[in-house]
Amino acid sequence: MAAYATATRGLQQLLVLSALGLLVTGTPRPPNIVLLLMDDMGWGDLGVYGEPSRETPNLDQMALEGMLFPNFYSANPLCSPSRAALLTGRLPIRNGFYTSNGHARNAYTPQEIMGGIPNSEHLLPELLKKAGYTNKIVGKWHLGHRPQFHPLKHGFDEWFGSPNCHFGPYDNKVKPNIPVYRDWEMVGRFYEEFPINLKTGEANLTQLYLQEALDFIRTQHARQSPFFLYWAIDATHAPVYASRPFLGTSHRGRYGDAVREIDDSVGKILSLLQNLGISKNTFVFFTSDNGAALISAPKEGGSNGPFLCGKQTTFEGGMREPAIAWWPGHIAAGQVSHQLGSIMDLFTTSLSVAGLKPPSDRIIDGLDLLPTMLQGHVMDRPIFYYRGNTLMAVTLGQYKAHFWTWTNSWEEFRQGIDFCPGQNVSGVTTHTQEEHTELPLIFHLGRDPGERFPLSFASAEYQDVLSRITQVVQQHQKSLVPGQPQLNVCNQAVMNWAPPGCEKLGKCLTPPESVPEKCSWAH
């Protein structure tokens, strides 16, 4: 943990500036930044990670020309908290994108949740504006739908997309369909002006999102303006969709069709950067917000490779993500880094690319990965796995310790809701909330990536790892100041409901109240 705790930022800044040539040439235009964030795409969905159909040639080529991260993690096994973590560089427990209702697994759904990203948080686009960047988000925002949470209020100059995913279609009365925006103007709704055919899976949304990205890049290049493009599309989130030329073209069904169209789109974005002659001045990173949603598999869910379970869980399948860094002329081609990476690192790394430092008035959980990308450095650091406000697990090096295990409730499981289909591991994948804080379940992820064989409590290896991880957890919890839980802020008209056998809650929850496990209405 010495490297994790020691302040090395000054040395890292010199390394980065030297690599970019800024120490010699003065202050040229800072590099462009393109973050490609997928939705529910699994670690095992790319050919370069071993997907046997090999239907991602552009992403595989991106990896061959850049750096692949096999040990890269989301900050949460759900969409909205992980997106908040990416744009703030902070764990959801710090930035407020969590709930406190019993190891919650709430996502943000605008008909129900009324909270959003707090004004007190410093988002990446807000900070990049200080260096003259023009910022655009294309696709899914997911950090609040009320006006004060709008992306243009938090540093973005342009937006084409939606505050949420393409759920629906709804009845347009009690629950209207999700709106689509161009900047401040609502230009339509999913299933209405922006149709999605649930029977065939046809939708033109990925093509619209691609064109928005290409047009933005061309415009900013013509203006000679540094830009930040946050391309957050949602085609691989159920119900999955693809445009007509890609439907029926994959060996993996409709989900594979969506992946093929995404791959083609990424190829077009990278090709444009090369054709414009700006690829060497553009840092690009590809990843996903959380693991594949196995609850939607096999027809509409992806693959988490050898890892246990999927989205909504804190097993490896829920939080280990595909990740590729691409920056020709700076990141040497054909590299694989075993650095433990986090989606929060994209905040700190992007600031470093822009020549900026992260805010010093708060704890930033993301590391600057440029020394890893440019020089091959590997830094010691932990990965924290949260569900709601509960620390479920910690990874340090090759070892992962589970303090709590829980997939979903027996009630949900008996209704056919299964986040770990075909992957029952006795004593590990549990349908009650099992506490292991005194004797954590510890796995060696190198020998056992599927988390099937916990270390013996009596072994010397277990005792050594437990001692080291305990110190890390104590240090983390000592400095932890939880933010106000934004996903507790709900619409009382909608949330005044409970599943069969539970009393109506009658109000929204605020700490320290919590929902009994059997009454969890989390989505």
Give me the mean pLDDT over the 38-66 stretch. Answer: 97
Pick from 444, 356, 484: nearest CA to 99 = 484
- Other beta carbons less than 10 A from residue 372's beta carbon: 23
Residue keyed to tokens 């400095």: 479
pLDDT in tens, 212-232: 999 999 999 999 999 999 999
Token pair listed for 45? 């969905």
> What confidence tier does 523 reach under pLDDT thresholds 50, 70, 90?
very low
How much is the pLDDT for 417? 87
How much is the pLDDT for 22? 45
- State residue 390 phi and psi, 5-degree precision: -105, 125
How far apart CA 11 and CA 494 sit, in angstroms, is 52
289 is in an annotated binding site: yes
Q: Which runs of consecutive H residues, i.e. helices, occur in 89-195?
A: 92-95, 124-128
Whether this model's pTM surpasses 0.75: yes
> What confidence tier does 101 reach under pLDDT thresholds 50, 70, 90?
confident
In a 10 Å sphere around its CB, with 0-12 CB exposed, 13-18 middle and 19+ buried, how is residue 395 labelled? buried
Give me the mean pLDDT over the 436-452 stretch. Answer: 97
- State residue 504 phi and psi, 5-degree precision: -65, 135
- Determine the residue type at 306: P
How much is the pLDDT for 492? 57
How much is the pLDDT for 24? 42
Catalytic residue positions, numbered: 79, 142
Helix (H, G, I), strand (E, B) or coil at 217: helix
Percentage of the residues of the chain whose pLDDT score is greater than 70: 87
Q: Is the pLDDT of residue 27 over 70?
A: no
Q: Is the pLDDT of residue 63 over 50?
A: yes
> What confidence tier does 112 reach under pLDDT thresholds 50, 70, 90?
confident
C-alpha dist (Å) from residue 143 to 387, 388, 422: 17, 16, 33
> What confidence tier does 10 reach under pLDDT thresholds 50, 70, 90?
very low
Question: CA dihedral in degrees (79, 80, 86, 87; nearest 10)?
Answer: 150
Q: Helix, strand, coil: what percent of the chain each, to 5?
A: 30, 15, 50
Is residue 76 a contact partner of residue 386, using CB atoms and an 8 Å limit? yes
79 is in an annotated binding site: yes
Mean residue pLDDT of the chain comes to: 89
**Three-state secondary structure string covering 445-466:** CCCCCCCCCCCCCCCHHHHHHH
How much is the pLDDT for 23? 41
71 is in an annotated binding site: no
In a 10 Å sphere around its CB, with 0-12 CB exposed, 13-18 middle and 19+ buried, how is residue 272 labelled? middle
Question: CA dihedral in degrees (292, 297, 300, 302; nearest 10)?
Answer: 30
Pick from 230, 228, 252: nearest CA to 240 = 252
- Per the DSSP assignment, residues forming a β-bridge with 454 are none
How much is the pLDDT for 114? 84
Lowest mean pLDDT among 314-328, 480-494, 497-511: 497-511
How far apart CA 407 and CA 399 sit, in angstroms, is 20
Q: Is the pLDDT of residue 401 over 70?
A: yes
How much is the pLDDT for 1? 47
Give me the mean pLDDT over the 84-100 stretch. Answer: 95
Q: Is the pLDDT of residue 413 over 60?
A: yes
- Determine the residue type at 496: N
In a 10 Å sphere around its CB, with 0-12 CB exposed, 13-18 middle and 19+ buried, how is residue 23 labelled? exposed
